[in-house]
Structure 1
Amino acid sequence: MAQLDSLPTEIILHVAQFLNPLAIVNLQLVCKRLLELGRDDALWREQSFLESSFLEHIRRRREILAQPRQSEDSQIRDLARALADGSGLGELRQVKPRKEALDLKALSNEKVRIRANWDPVFPGEKVNWYDEYITRHAPISTSWLQQPRNRESPEREYLEVRGVALYTQPTDVESTFAVAPLDDGSLCLWDINGTRGRKGAIWQRSKPGILSVDPHAQAGPGRRSKMVSTGVTECISIDNFRNRAYVAVQSTLVEIDLETLSTIRLENFPFSITALSKANFPTPLTVGTNLSLHLHDTRSRSPAGKVFGNSEKLDTITGMGPSRRNAGSQMYPGIRKPEPISLSTHLYQPGPLSILHLPLFGDELSGSGEIYVAGRFPSILNYERRTFPKLRGTIHSGARLCSMTSLPYPFSSLEKDLARQGELSMDQVLEAKTRPGKTLIACGEYNSKGSLEMYGLSPYPERKPTSTGTTTGGTLQNSATKNRQTSSSSKLLSVLNHGTQIVISDGGGNLKWMERDGFTEARRWNTADGSVGAPRGIFGTLGDSYMDSGSGDIVIKILENKGELILWTGEKIGLLSFSSKPGFSAESFEHAAKTAEEARLEREERIYSRTMRRALEHQANEVRYVRGLGIGL
C-alpha cells in the first residue's frame, strides 16, 4: 500500500484508462486515494465518450463511406479484369486500397477533435462526469410514492394526484418535498429525500376542501371540491422564499401557506386557468387563462374578510371584518399605499399550456425579464415584463406545444448538425460555444407525432421593417431546429434538462434522453413495471416492439431533484433513480402487510392484465389495418 501511495497520479490515471467502468468502481474501494482518483472527471468523461451513441454513429458512417462503390457495372469490371490478365499485366492492374500513414500525433489530434464535436459541456459549466456517466449508463428503476387515501369515505379509496411541484424550505435546503393537490381538495406533501421520515412517504396533508372555491363549505363523505381542469399540467407553483403554494382551481387562484397548510387568499380570473409560471419572489406570477394572460403580484395584500384557514395544524379562522386600525384607510384610500394593479392582455387564440420566465441578457439578477408563452396556437409568444402587455415578438412553430425549458447557452442548428457528423474543427467548436445567446427548448405535437424543438435566442433582436418604413424589434429567434422525425411516434408531453442531456416523455409511456443537438438519442426507458433500459443496437433499439406497445403509465410532467427525476402520471407520483432495484413502492407504505401468497397473486394478475391489454391492442391495430381493404365495411 505504501508503494501504491508513492506512485504519481498520472500513472494511476493512465492505468485506469485501460480498465472497464466496473473495474474502476471496484478500484475506488481500495483506499481513499484511489477513491478520489476513481472519481476523476477526465477519466469518466472519456468513458462516457467511448460508450456514447455519437461515437457509434461516427464509426458506422465512416465504415459505410470506406466501402467500395456498389454502383459500378459488373460487366465492365469483369471485362477490365480479363483484359488485364490476357496482357500479362494482371498483377500491375490490381488496385489495392491505400491506407493513409498517420503518425501518432495526428491520430491523437483527430481523436481530440472528434471528442470536442461530441462534448456537450459549455465553457464555465460545471459537470460531475462520474454522476453523468451514471445517468447515461446505470440501470434505471422507478419507485412510486405513497398513494393518499380518502379519509372521509368508509372505503378509503385512493385519491388521484392532480399536479406536482417541488418545495424546499429556505431554512432547510437539504429537505425537498413534492407538493400536489388531491382529488378531495386537499394539499399533500411527500418527503422526497427522506430527511424528515421515510423516503417517499406522505409528510403532511391538509384537511379536504381547502382548495375549494368556497372555503367555508364543509367537506363530507360524498363531497368533491371543484378541482383543476382536465388537461392543465402547470396547475401548481411554489414560492420557496415565502413558503407559498399557488394552485389553479378552475378560474380561481388559491394561495396556500405551506407552513400552516391554510388558505390565505383567493383570486378570481375571467376565464379558466390553463397554465402558471414558476413563482420566484419578488417577480410577479404569470397566470395564463383560456383567453387571457395576467401578471399577478404575489406581494399584494388580501382584502379584509378574505383570509381563510382550513388546516390540520390550526383552527379555522373566520373572516375578519374591518377593524378600527384600517377603518380610516378605507374611508380615505389615499392614506395607505394603493394595491398593485394586475396587468393583463387578451389572447386572440385560446389555450396557453406552458409559461416560461427568462431573465434579460446581461440582467439576470433584476426582476425584469422575458415571458414566453406556448400552447394550442402555432407560435410562441414573447413579452417583456417592463413593457407588458405589449407583445414583443413571436417565434413560429406550427406545432401545439405543451412544455418548455431553457439553457443559458447559445444554439445554432447548422453547427449542431455538423458537430453531429463530427465535421467541426476545434476553433469552430470553441467559437460556437462562446458566442452570446440562450436556448429555448419546447416539445409538443405536430400532425399526431412528437415534436422536439430548439430555438437559439440572440441578445441582439432582429429588426423588421414596418409599413411606415421604420424598424421595430422583432423575434429573438436566431436559429431553430425541429425534430419531428425521430423524437417520438406519439405526442411529447414534457421536456427537462437533465445534466448534459435533454429528457422527454411521450404518449407511449417512454422517457428518452437526447443529446443537446435534439436528434442524437442517448438512452430510453419505459415506465411499465418490470421493464429494463433498452440497449442500442446496430439497427436501432432492441426493445422497440416493447417500447411501442404503449403499456405502463404515461408521464405528463418531469421534475428533477438531485439527479433523480420526479414523474407525474396524472394519477400518482414516481421517483426515477439510477439503481438496479426500486427503493420502495406504493404498496410498501400500507399498514396491513400482504402475505407472500397475496403478493404473488397480485403480481400474476398484473402480468395477466398487461398481457391481455397488449393482445387487444394488437387486435385493434389489425382491424384498423384491414379496414377499407374489402374485408370490413
Structure 2
Amino acid sequence: MAKLDSLPTEIILQVAQFLEPLEIVTLQLVCKRFLTLGRDDALWREQSFLKSPFLERLRRRRELIVAEPVQKSQFRDLARALANGNGLGESRLAKPREEARDFKAMSNEKIRIRANWDPVFPGEKVSWYEEYIARNAPISTSWLQQPRNRESAEREYLEVRGVALYTPPGDPDSTLAVAPLDDGSLCLWDISGTRCRRGAIWQRSKPGILSVDPHPQAGPSGRSKMVSTGVTECISVDSGRKRAYVAVQSGLVEIDLETFSTVRHERFPFSITALSEAKHPTPLTVGTNLSLHLYDSRSRHPAGISSANVERLDSFGASFPSLRNPGSLDFQSLLNPVSSPDCTHLYQPGPLSILHLPSSDDDWNGNGDIYVAGRFPSILNYDRRNFPKLRGTIHSGARLCSMTYLPYPFASMEKDLARRGELSIEQVLEAKTRPGKTLIACGEYNSKGSLEMYGLSPNPENTTISSDFVAGSLQNSVMKNRQTSSSSKLLSVSNHGTRVVVSDGSGNLKWLERDGFTEARRWNISHGSVEAPRGIFGTLGDSYLDSGSGDIVIKILENQGELVLWTGEKIGLLNFSSKPGFTADSFEDAAKTAEEAHQEREEEIYSATMRRALENQANEVRYVRGLGIGLGGNRNH
C-alpha cells in the first residue's frame, strides 16, 4: 500500500483510465489521496464522454462511413478513432513508423471529437464527478411533506399552488421551498435539512393571509381564492429582502418571510398571469392578462393609502425614468393604447413567463432586458431603462410558457456541425468565446412540444435605442426543435449542470445537451423511482399510453444539483440515488405497519400492471383499425 501511494499522480490517473466507473469509486475508499484523485475532473469528463449518446451516434455513423467505397480523410480518421474506443491501443514503441503516424492522427482526431462534444464554455466551473452522476446514476423522487387543513375535522390534504426557492441571508447552505396553499396560507419546507428534518414543513403562516381583500373578514369568505391553475409563475421570492410576492387573482400580496405579515397589497386591473424573478434592487415585473407593470415596494404606497399622498423617491426615479411619476392605475388608462409610465398595454392577452436578463454578467443593478412570452406568437423585449417602450420582438410562432437563459453564446450552425462531430478545435473555441447570451424557451406548437434557443449578442454601449434595433440584438442564430423534443406540450425548462432539462404533458423529464437536440437521458415521473420502461414502439412514457396518467411536472427549479419539481398539487425533490431519501408518508404522525405498507405497495403494483395491460390492449385495437380491419367489421354491422 505504501508503494502504491508513493506512485506519481500521472501514473495513478493513467491506470485509472482502464477502470470501470464503479471501480474508480471503490478506489476512492483507499485513502485521502486516492479520494482526491478519484474525483479528478479530467478523469470523469473522459468517462462522461465515453458513455455519451453523442459518441454512440458517431459510432453508428462510423459503420456507414466504413461501408462507403470512397472515404474522405477526415471521415477515415474519425472511423479509426472511434474504432479504437478510448484511443488507447498497443504500445507506440511496438508499432512501425507508419502505424505510429496513424496512431498520432487517431489521437488528434479523438481530441477533436471530444471538443465537439464538450458542453463546457471557457470560464465555466463544472464538477465532472457530479456531472457523470447526473448523467448516469439511478433517479429517485422524494415528495415533501403534504400540508393538511388545520381547521377541518377531516384534516384533508391541501394543494400546493406554486413554488419558489428561498435562501436566507447569511446562510447559503440552507434552502427553503416557499409555496402558497389552498387555504390562503404560506408554507416553508426545509429541503436542505439544515433547520429541521429534510423535506418537512419548517414554518407555516395562519390561513387567509393571502387574500383578494387586503383586509379580509374572519371566516371562510376571507380566505384566498388563488389564481387559475394555468398560472405557473404565481410566486416570486427576494431572498435578500426576505420577501415573498404572491399573485392572488388581480392582487399582489407582499409577505415578510420572517414575521409572515402582509407588507403590501397592490391591486391591478386584471388577473395576474405571470411574475418575474424578484431580486433587489431590480423592480418586479408583473404581467396581467392585458398589461405589464413594474412593481417596486420602495416607490409604492402601503396598502390602503392613496397614491396621491406618497412621496416620490428621487434616487430611485433617477435610475428608472419610467417610474418617476407614479400614479393610480385605472381601467381608462389601461384601455388607452398609449402606454402610461406605470404600465404598458398588451395587444394580445396571456403572458405566461417573464424573464429578466442582467445588463452584464452578475450585474443586477436594475438595468437589463425584460423578455415576455405567452399565448402570443412572439417574444416581447423591453429595455427597463426605456420602459414601457417596446424594444423589439422575436417571432416564435409557438405558445411559450417557460423561459430561462445561459450567460454563454449560441450559434445554431456551429451547434449542428458539432453535433455531427465536424468542427475543428479552432472552430469550437471560436464559437464558445463569442460574446453573447442564449435565450431558451419552451411551449407548444401544433399540439407538439417546442424547445427553442435564440442567440443574443451583447447590448450596445450607447444608451440610445435606434428604430431598427432588433430585440436584444438577436443574432442570425435560432434553433427550434419541434420534431424530437416531445410528442406533447413542453411545460417547463431549466438549466441542469451542462444540460437543459424539460418536462412535458406526458409526465416525462428529458435532459438534452445544449444543442437542444441530443437527448442525454429521460425519466418518467409516473413510474416512481425507475427509468421509463421501453416498449416495442419506443418509450412508453413518450407515447399515447402514458398521456394523462400519473403526475406531470409543471415547474422545474434547480437547487445545488437537485431538481425541485412542482406538479400543481405537491412538491418533490429529484436526486440521483437508487431509492428516495424520504416520502410523504414518512412525515405522518401515525406510521403504517410493515404489513400495511407492503399491502399498499402490492396494490400500487397491481393497479399499475392492470393499467398498462389495458393501455396495451387499447393500443392494439387502434393499430388493427389502422390496418383497415376495423372498417370491415363496421360494414358487417
Q: Shorter-chain TM-score category? A: 0.7 to 0.9
Query: Residues 6-25 of structure 1: matches in 2 within 5 Å?
Result: 6-25=6-25
Question: Partner of 1:472 in structure 2?
Answer: 468
Shift of 1:64: 1.4
Unaligned 5+ segments in structure 2 are 71-97, 318-323, 327-340, 461-465
Question: Partner of 2:48 in structure 1?
Answer: 48
Q: CA 1:267/1:221 → structure 2, altered by over 3 Å: closer, same or farther?
A: closer
Q: Following the alignment from structure 1 to structure 2, what is the Cα–Cα distance between the partners of residues 405 and 150?
A: 35
Q: Following the alignment from structure 1 to structure 2, what is the Cα–Cα distance between the partners of residues 275 and 399?
A: 18
- 8 A Cα contact 1:410 1:436, kept in partner: yes
Q: Following the alignment from structure 1 to structure 2, what is the Cα–Cα distance between the partners of residues 146 and 500?
A: 30
CA deviation profile, 1:283-339 (whole Å, cap 9, x unmatched):
000000011111111323543756xxxxxxxxxxxxxxx9xxxxxx95x97999998
Question: Partner of 1:417 in structure 2?
Answer: 416
Query: Residues 555-570 of structure 1: matches in 2 within 5 Å?
Result: 555-570=553-568
Q: Following the alignment from structure 2 to structure 1, what is the Cα–Cα distance between the partners of residues 283 and 418?
A: 40
Q: Which amino acid counterpart does residue 111 of structure 2 have in structure 1?
A: V
Question: Partner of 1:465 in structure 2?
Answer: none
Question: Partner of 1:231 in structure 2?
Answer: 230
CA deviation profile, 1:152-209 (whole Å, cap 9, x unmatched):
1111100000000000111212111000000111000000001011000000001111
Q: Secondary structure at the match of 1:528?
A: helix
Question: Partner of 2:263 in structure 1?
Answer: 264
CA RMSD of aligned residues (A): 2.9
TM-score by length of 2: 0.85
Question: Partner of 1:491 in structure 2?
Answer: 489
* Number of residues of Structure 1 aligned to a counterpart in Structure 2: 575
State whether structure 2 residue 57 is matched by structure 1 residue 57.
yes
Q: Following the alignment from structure 2 to structure 1, what is the Cα–Cα distance between the partners of residues 313 and 422?
A: 69
Q: Following the alignment from structure 1 to structure 2, what is the Cα–Cα distance between the partners of residues 239 and 303?
A: 18
Shift of 1:529: 4.0
Question: Partner of 1:35 in structure 2?
Answer: 35
Q: Secondary structure at the match of 2:147?
A: coil
Q: Following the alignment from structure 1 to structure 2, what is the Cα–Cα distance between the partners of residues 334 and 384?
A: 22
**Which protein has the bigger helix share?**
2
State whether structure 2 residue 154 is matched by structure 1 residue 155.
yes
- 8 A Cα contact 1:254 1:266, kept in partner: yes
Q: Which stretch has the larger CA shift, 169-178 or 621-630?
A: 621-630
Q: Following the alignment from structure 2 to structure 1, what is the Cα–Cα distance between the partners of residues 147 and 596?
A: 22
- 8 A Cα contact 2:406 2:438, kept in partner: yes
- 8 A Cα contact 2:524 2:541, kept in partner: no
Shift of 1:47: 0.4
Q: Which amino acid counterpart does residue 117 of structure 1 have in structure 2?
A: N
Shift of 1:135: 0.6
Question: Partner of 2:129 in structure 1?
Answer: 130
Query: Residues 84-95 of structure 1: matches in 2 within 5 Å?
Result: none
Q: Which stretch has the larger CA shift, 170-179 or 418-427?
A: 170-179
Q: CA 1:437/1:160 → structure 2, altered by over 3 Å: closer, same or farther?
A: same
CA deviation profile, 1:268-287 (whole Å, cap 9, x unmatched):
01111000000011100000
Q: CA 1:305/1:457 → structure 2, altered by over 3 Å: closer, same or farther?
A: closer
Q: Following the alignment from structure 1 to structure 2, what is the Cα–Cα distance between the partners of residues 404 and 220?
A: 39
Q: CA 1:340/1:15 → structure 2, altered by over 3 Å: closer, same or farther?
A: farther
Query: Residues 199-214 of structure 1: matches in 2 within 5 Å?
Result: 199-214=198-213
Q: Following the alignment from structure 1 to structure 2, what is the Cα–Cα distance between the partners of residues 103 and 402?
A: 51
Unaligned 5+ segments in structure 1 are 71-98, 307-321, 323-328, 462-469
- 8 A Cα contact 2:187 2:205, kept in partner: yes
Question: Partner of 2:447 in structure 1?
Answer: 448
Q: Following the alignment from structure 1 to structure 2, what is the Cα–Cα distance between the partners of residues 107 and 335?
A: 66
Q: CA 1:335/1:477 → structure 2, altered by over 3 Å: closer, same or farther?
A: closer
Q: Which amino acid counterpart does residue 64 of structure 2 have in structure 1?
A: I
Query: Residues 76-115 of structure 1: matches in 2 within 5 Å?
Result: 103-115=102-114
Q: CA 1:575/1:443 → structure 2, altered by over 3 Å: closer, same or farther?
A: same
- 8 A Cα contact 1:229 1:249, kept in partner: no
State whether structure 2 residue 622 is matched by structure 1 residue 587.
no
Q: Which amino acid counterpart does residue 36 of structure 2 have in structure 1?
A: E
Q: Secondary structure at the match of 1:174?
A: coil
Identity %: 76
Q: Which amino acid counterpart does residue 208 of structure 2 have in structure 1?
A: G
TM-score by length of 1: 0.85
Shift of 1:572: 0.3
Q: CA 1:543/1:507 → structure 2, altered by over 3 Å: closer, same or farther?
A: closer
Shift of 1:228: 2.2
Q: Which amino acid counterpart does residue 36 of structure 1 have in structure 2?
A: T
CA deviation profile, 1:326-383 (whole Å, cap 9, x unmatched):
xxx95x9799999862621011111000000002257934311100000000000000
- 8 A Cα contact 2:281 2:364, kept in partner: no
Q: Which amino acid counterpart does residue 571 of structure 1 have in structure 2?
A: E
- 8 A Cα contact 1:496 1:504, kept in partner: yes
- 8 A Cα contact 1:523 1:535, kept in partner: no
Q: Which amino acid counterpart does residue 263 of structure 1 have in structure 2?
A: T
Q: CA 1:624/1:187 → structure 2, altered by over 3 Å: closer, same or farther?
A: farther
- 8 A Cα contact 1:510 1:547, kept in partner: no
Task: Please identify the structure whose Cα radius of gyration is greater.
Answer: 1
Q: CA 1:439/1:253 → structure 2, altered by over 3 Å: closer, same or farther?
A: same
Q: Following the alignment from structure 2 to structure 1, what is the Cα–Cα distance between the partners of residues 348 and 191?
A: 39
Shift of 1:100: 9.4
- 8 A Cα contact 1:209 1:215, kept in partner: no
Shift of 1:495: 0.4
Q: Which amino acid counterpart does residue 487 of structure 1 have in structure 2?
A: S
Query: Residues 317-396 of structure 1: matches in 2 within 5 Å?
Result: 341=326, 343-361=342-360, 364-396=363-395
CA deviation profile, 1:74-100 (whole Å, cap 9, x unmatched):
xxxxxxxxxxxxxxxxxxxxxxxxx99
- 8 A Cα contact 1:209 1:218, kept in partner: no
- 8 A Cα contact 2:229 2:568, kept in partner: no
